[in-house]
Amino acid sequence: MSSKEFPASSRDVDEPAVLPAERAQLRATAERFVARHLAPWRDSPDYVPSPAENEAVVEAAAGAGLLVGTATPGYGWLVEDRDGLDGTVALLALLAAHHATTAFQLHRLALGEWLRVRLGAPLPACRTLPWLPTGHALAEPAFVNFLGRGIVPSPEEALLPLSGAPLAWPSTPAWDQLAGPVPVGDGIRWSVLAERPGAEAAGPLHGLDGTRQYTATLSAREPAVALCPDMPAAEAAPVMVELLGRDALGLMALALGVVRRAGEQAREQAGRRVQGGGLIRAHAAVQGLLAETRVALISTETALQAAGAPPRELATLCRVLALRSVAHELLCRGANAAMQVFGGSGYMRDMGLERAVRDCNQLRACAGASADLRLFIARAELPS
């Protein structure tokens, strides 16, 4: 990974606009990357890349400029251009349609990159993952209070990373650091929480084959390495809000890409498979399944367009999470419907449909499943 020094001061939160020419260039870069590195994996859905292959593909993405933009240095390409469906959403969906695991990892690393720049972190650029709360923690009233009112949760609630407390996050092996907010008195110290040599990788996860649940315990003896000067909680909370919002949009875009691919496969199958003397697409039962997939795609595309730019305050985060809570449920139904079109074949790993279902399930459960997101919204909108 290339070494890059960022300015120590916090960067202006307003992102530079991405020009149409830059966007077209980025799209072309992404398409070349996908064709070269991900298309073979898309065409062999039961193949699970080795840890070394996962590392190599992230290096290749970084080398191609997908993680660290060239036009706007320091801003990860995958998180900087949130112009509805034409920008990052389109790129993430394109990547996920080919290989959701890689797309997920690039998304989270790009978020880590964004976080470092957002904080003006004076550290060499490396593969940083952002800490994100689990769904239950997200919906806890004390965490909602932190985001909305800048009140640091008490240590007993352990809703933010604490010394001696265990941390867990999903990832491929292609990462170096986990960074997140540690409470220090009434303020927040954005810190390096874990490094890969000290983290344990547990067994496989449900979907996104190649990801593992990493765990580490934040050292109680050694102080965490700060990414930037300590900041008041009221200043740290908007960073967390934006991080959560960008992650939510990214997860939706990833699942969108997965279901787009599954839907294409289902339509092809419906136009190829014969049953009862005719193509199965003539049956209302199959049309209903195809419709389920289309409804999920159209609804999610509309939601992503409506969501627009990443949220910077609690109210707009609630809007994004509301859209996400519906979109992921629809996308899971869409993936299942696409799989059902294939009958028994869809259940077999070599078709890729069952993988789409598992990937959608995993993306839905990450950083807040639907019920957690809804509780979060209710609690954020209730009076204190």
370-381 and 314-341 helices cross at what angle (nearest 10)? 160
Residue type at 332 in one-letter notation:
C
Residue type at 242 in one-letter notation:
E
Q: Are 377 and 323 in contact (CB under 8 A)?
A: no
The whole-angstrom separation of Cα 226 and Cα 317 is 26
Minimal distance in Å, beta carbon 353 to another protein?
9
Tokens of residue 331, six digits: 């996308």
Nearer to another protein, 207 or 311 (CB): 207
Minimal distance in Å, beta carbon 296 to another protein?
15
The whole-angstrom separation of Cα 359 and Cα 336 is 11
Report CA-CA distances (Å) from 117 to 88, 242, 309: 18, 13, 18
Nearer to another protein, 298 or 371 (CB): 371
CB within 8 A of 377, min separation 6: which ones?
Answer: 318, 321, 322, 325
Nearer to another protein, 62 or 255 (CB): 255
Minimal distance in Å, beta carbon 51 to another protein?
17
**Contacting positions for another protein (CB under 8 A):** 46, 134-137, 139-140, 142-143, 153, 156-159, 168-170, 202-207, 213, 274-278, 285-286, 289, 332, 336, 339-340, 343-344, 346-350, 354, 357-358, 361-362, 364-366, 368-372, 375
The whole-angstrom separation of Cα 329 and Cα 206 is 17
Residue type at 348 in one-letter notation:
M
Q: Are 257 and 332 in contact (CB under 8 A)?
A: no
Identify the three-state secondary structure at position 187: strand
Q: Exposed/middle/buried for 21, CB within 10 Å: 0-12, 13-18, 19+?
A: exposed
Minimal distance in Å, beta carbon 243 to another protein?
17
Minimal distance in Å, beta carbon 261 to another protein?
17
Nearer to another protein, 135 or 311 (CB): 135
Minimal distance in Å, beta carbon 50 to another protein?
17
Report residue 287 CA to chain centroid gap. 31
Tokens of residue 233, six digits: 């909680």
Nearer to another protein, 45 or 76 (CB): 45
Nearer to another protein, 32 or 206 (CB): 206
How does 236-267 read in b/e, with b if 16+ C-beta sit within 10 Å? bbbbbbbbbbbbbbbbbbbbbbbbbbbbebbb
Which residue in the block uniquely carries the two structure tokens 């990493």? 214
Nearer to another protein, 36 or 149 (CB): 149
Nearer to another protein, 43 or 350 (CB): 350
- Total number of residues shown for the chain: 384
List beta partners, residue 225: 192
Minimal distance in Å, beta carbon 363 to another protein?
10
Nearer to another protein, 156 or 222 (CB): 156
Nearer to another protein, 231 or 330 (CB): 330
Minimal distance in Å, beta carbon 237 to another protein?
17
Minimal distance in Å, beta carbon 228 to another protein?
27
Report residue 326 CA to chain centroid gap. 16
Q: Are 67 and 77 in contact (CB under 8 A)?
A: yes
Minimal distance in Å, beta carbon 144 to another protein?
11
List beta partners, residue 214: 169, 201
